[in-house]
Structure 1
Amino acid sequence: MLQCDGERLLTGGVMHGLTLFRLSLVRFAASFMVVLTTGVINRVFIADLGYSEAWFTLLLCLQQLVTPLTLVTGYWSDSIPIWGRHRAPHAAFWAIAAAVALAAMMICLRGAAARPAWSVALFLLAAVAMSVFGLGVKASNLLITALLVDRLPARRRAGALTYVWFMAIAGLVLGGLCYGILFGRAPTIGLSYLTEVTVATCVGVVALTLVGLVGVEPADHRAVAAATPSGFWRSLRALCRNSQARWFFGFMALAEFSFFCQDLILEVYGGRVFQLSVSATTEYSFYHGLGTLLGMMLGWTLHEAIWIRSRTWQLPLACVLGALAFAFLVGSALLQASALATSAILLLGVAKGGYNTALAGALMDLMDRRLAGVLLGVWGTTAGIAIAAGMAGGGLLRFGFFEAALAAQFTPATALRVSFAGVFAVELLGLLIAALMLLRFRPGVYREELDREIDALMSEGVLART
């Protein structure tokens, strides 16, 4: 069980270390679903079945567009305990909802492909399921983070969150390997088999979610402020009035947009430019995940053991490294160099891992347990909208702008390569601008403004006094 003295979670022996491991299993399991949607289902329906790249990209982006609702789920967890617990029951509900929704989405897509007369209705149902999937994954992830904020002292939160993220990235790596093996080297994948794998994955996710969350949070029967719509909006406005919070989340939005523009086109890039099989392009997830793990370990080492003590400097350094990776991806597209693309994806993972580690520490430094649910909801909403814009923007920029503009000037093959290079160049520029933006952020000013706003909310009865 997690103790009220949260520091003992990391230092209090095998049971407490096991509890943190159990929490991380939920993120680990969710990563398998992420690999399946972005690395396999996306590639199969666009590159193999010929679905519209723009429409299918928008379908997958729904999982990010619903993230503003995590503001509400976070506020609910702050204000509505279930069995005396604020985080774990909410997180379990949303994680299980995500797994059920992903299985339902794949069944709907399979039905739409098999029954053209019902395709529109089934595709709309798939869109609803994808929205629930996205909300479930985001809400459960943020509530696990809120549980760490509740149960750990400030100095231990970044390490715990980094560990949880490390396990999530390990899930991406292992998921890429497992799906690469399951789908073999066949140039195409049958929808029946893909549906079976999806359903089996979702069953495994439900099982690991229950293992990870049942019994990890002790009951807390202290008084809380009643959840009301006006209380939610007053809490949200209090955060939005914080000038430094606006600046930091603006930086994060641009960085996340830039890191994710290629997310839904990378496997398509490998399939169309290099004529790689589904199994080979799925390995992109492995290389990116491996690089992310290495980057997270490197980032933590730099922060703890060497000389870069300020996460404010680690974040722009990670953005610059990511820009370098996108420069290599531009070169791989123009030169049609598959090996260079693989190396660039590995380097991009290293940059994203360093960014994740620094961002985890920075965000934990910004947290306040009195408003953790709403704070994490703002974080999730900002990241989700930016990621959705990046995922949709990558496909739309490539297909709707770059390739269309270049079609009259180049051969189709050249226009295809240059269109991918154009997207990578946009990401390069975005990361460089984001690195410059963060130089204006002042953590001390942020904390002073936040304390004033929380005191005001407590005096108004929006937050309970602690």
Structure 2
Amino acid sequence: MANDSKAMLWLRAFQLTLPRAAAGWLFALLTSNFNRIAIYELGIAAVVVTSMLGLYHFLSPFQVIYGRISDRVPMFGYHRTPYVVIGMMLSACAVAALPYIVVPMSVNPDVIGFLAFPYAAYVVGFVILIIFGLGFAMAGANHLALVAEVIPERSRGIVTAFIWTMLIIGMIASLQFIRSYMPDYDIDTMKSLYLLSIPVVGVVTILGVIGVEKKVSSPLEHAHMSDDKGEEHATMKDFLVAVISNPAVRNFFLFIFLFQIGYSLQDNILEVFGAEVLKMTVGETGRFQQIWGGGAIVGMFVMGFLVFRGALSKRIAITIGIAGIVFSLLLLAYGAYQVDGSIVNTSLVIMGFFNGFALVGTLTAMMEFTTDAERGAYIGLWGLAIAFANGIASIAAGQLVTSWIESGLFTAVLGFTYIFTIEALITLTSLWFLWRVNHSSLSKKINRDGMSKAMEADLG
């Protein structure tokens, strides 16, 4: 009987990974295909494209709003499932529309459809990506809430780790299909490929939520199902004053912020680098995320093994991870300078592997920088640091490409070499703030419970 219950738990856990696998399809298109085609093949300024792609990070606070709405306003007796499906479909429709927007952006940005005003196509493009971000925020918040409501507390951490891994696997599998479907850029093929987002995301998401949530007949019943116990919180002003006046928290915030900026700077320009410097096709640059994702999965498994052995403290785990990432970024810069694809691929494997170390170490440390009375506020603070750093990194990367390379100031080889080197230096600088954090918990070993709670937070 116990074995049947355990098998049902893991079956439910696998089902709950499917919406993240669907998200993996969308991110594969956006960050490994659309960015390269828009910038390289169609010649749109890099800063415009990366700003569009960075928009959804700045919409992360809407997760809180959507979470509160779904708590109070069920649809057809369900508090989570409809919001997950609607959110994912909004995002899928936004991605499906991108090929119809990107060509006018490159040919005649002042006219798109029946709209005609300066930069009309650009405005529509940004609106489309805002819709993507709002949909993703709606789906993300309610998907995590659904996990919390149907998975027992003792299993949530490992299930969330499973879900996070499925996002990477979904991206890897999606990229393999995308590469074979469109090995070279063709606008008609691009349109049909992106339109597949609607059925793929729709079917996979529905399979991931159907039958999971229990239908409730009243808000009171839903309240009883939740294990969240309300706590008295300080005012936001008092909380912010406490954060700013606490050197440990302040330094830890700066560490997270700089680490995410340094690490994420290459996210939306790596495929452009592959095209500009290595002269790779669309299909070939699509392998970059696959290579990185494979390394990340291996790194997380190795980190999990070391955690179960009780072998690493949080500070050491993060330091090892970031040191490895800095080395991989310098190796990436060297590969760019030498115009050597094999060095670039090796750097991406190393980057993904050590990201697993840094991710688990940082998430577990975040959970220590909370208090019982203000846990939600602190987790929100770390989440905002990550989201806004990723958004700023996306915009900054495009600005560097536009200012240094597209302007003709540097050759593509030198420009990307400098950008990757700057990434390494910013990431290395983040370590200085980490080691300035005077908090005893960072010296403690990462244990299973700490890892479980960290993955349950799912801030990455």
Q: CA deviation at 1:356?
A: 3.0
Return the letter of the residue paired with 1:422: Y
Which of 55, 60, 71 is the equivalent residue of 1:62?
A: 55
In the alignment, what sits opposite 1:336? 339
Return the letter of the residue paired with 1:121: A
SS at match of 1:264: coil
Which of 262, 270, 273 is the equivalent residue of 2:274?
A: 270
Tell me the TM-score normalized by structure 2. 0.80
Q: CA deviation at 1:141?
A: 2.8
In the alignment, what sits opposite 1:174? 173
Q: CA deviation at 1:433?
A: 2.3
Which of 42, 48, 64 is the equivalent residue of 1:49?
A: 42
In the alignment, what sits opposite 1:433? 429
In the alignment, what sits opposite 2:213? 217
Distance across 2 between alignment mates of 1:88 and 1:235:
32
Which of 300, 308, 326 is the equivalent residue of 2:304?
A: 300
Query: Cα distance 1:247–1:126, how it changes in 2: closer, same or farther (>3 A)?
Result: same
Query: Cα distance 1:70–1:371, how it changes in 2: closer, same or farther (>3 A)?
Result: farther
Distance across 1 between alignment mates of 2:77 and 2:375:
17
Q: Is residue 118 of structure 2 the alignment partner of residue 135 of structure 1?
A: no
Q: CA deviation at 1:283?
A: 1.0
Q: CA deviation at 1:114?
A: 7.0
Q: Is residue 20 of structure 2 the alignment partner of residue 27 of structure 1?
A: yes
Give the CA RMSD over aligned residues: 3.4
In the alignment, what sits opposite 1:197? 193
Which of 317, 320, 326 is the equivalent residue of 2:320?
A: 317
Distance across 2 between alignment mates of 1:182 and 1:70:
34
Distance across 2 between alignment mates of 1:352 and 1:304:
19
Which of 386, 391, 399 is the equivalent residue of 2:402?
A: 399
In the alignment, what sits opposite 1:108? 101
Q: CA deviation at 1:20?
A: 1.0
Matched-pair contact (CA < 8 Å) for 1:22–1:212: yes
Return the letter of the residue paired with 1:299: M
Q: Is residue 392 of structure 2 the alignment partner of residue 389 of structure 1?
A: yes
Distance across 1 between alignment mates of 2:138 and 2:12:
20
Q: CA deviation at 1:235?
A: 6.8
In the alignment, what sits opposite 1:157? 156
Q: CA deviation at 1:377?
A: 4.7
Distance across 2 between alignment mates of 1:279 and 1:235:
52
Distance across 2 between alignment mates of 1:255 and 1:154:
30
Distance across 2 between alignment mates of 1:89 and 1:369:
32
Q: CA deviation at 1:280?
A: 0.7
Distance across 2 between alignment mates of 1:245 and 1:77:
32
Query: Cα distance 1:443–1:391, how it changes in 2: closer, same or farther (>3 A)?
Result: farther
Distance across 2 between alignment mates of 1:444 and 1:149:
26
Q: Is residue 285 of structure 2 the alignment partner of residue 281 of structure 1?
A: yes
Query: Cα distance 1:80–1:156, how it changes in 2: closer, same or farther (>3 A)?
Result: same
Q: CA deviation at 1:71?
A: 3.6
Q: CA deviation at 1:166?
A: 0.6
SS at match of 1:13: helix
Matched-pair contact (CA < 8 Å) for 2:44–2:106: no
Question: Superposition pairs for residues 83-94 of structure 1, below 5 Å?
Answer: 87-94=80-87
In the alignment, what sits opposite 2:449? none
Distance across 2 between alignment mates of 1:224 and 1:13:
21
Tell me the TM-score normalized by structure 1. 0.79
SS at match of 1:263: coil
Query: Cα distance 1:365–1:26, how it changes in 2: closer, same or farther (>3 A)?
Result: farther
Query: Cα distance 1:444–1:326, how it changes in 2: closer, same or farther (>3 A)?
Result: closer
SS at match of 1:56: helix
Return the letter of the residue paired with 1:43: R
Identity %: 23
Which of 418, 424, 429 is the equivalent residue of 1:422?
A: 418
Q: CA deviation at 1:443?
A: 7.6
Q: Which ranges in structure 1 are unaligned for 5 or more consecutive residues? A: 1-7, 226-230, 446-466
Query: Cα distance 1:355–1:149, how it changes in 2: closer, same or farther (>3 A)?
Result: farther
Matched-pair contact (CA < 8 Å) for 1:11–1:17: no
In the alignment, what sits opposite 2:29? 36
Query: Cα distance 1:271–1:103, how it changes in 2: closer, same or farther (>3 A)?
Result: same
Q: Which ranges in structure 2 are unaligned for 5 or more consecutive residues? A: 113-118, 443-460
Matched-pair contact (CA < 8 Å) for 1:162–1:360: no
Return the letter of the residue paired with 1:325: S
Q: Is residue 41 of structure 2 the alignment partner of residue 13 of structure 1?
A: no
Distance across 1 between alignment mates of 2:279 and 2:413:
12
Query: Cα distance 1:253–1:84, how it changes in 2: closer, same or farther (>3 A)?
Result: farther
What is the count of residue pairs matched by the alignment? 421
Q: After the TM superposition, which of the residue ranges 268-277 and 143-152 deviates more from structure 2? A: 143-152
Distance across 2 between alignment mates of 1:91 and 1:232:
29
SS at match of 1:276: coil
Matched-pair contact (CA < 8 Å) for 2:47–2:401: no
In the alignment, what sits opposite 2:457? none
Matched-pair contact (CA < 8 Å) for 2:43–2:106: no
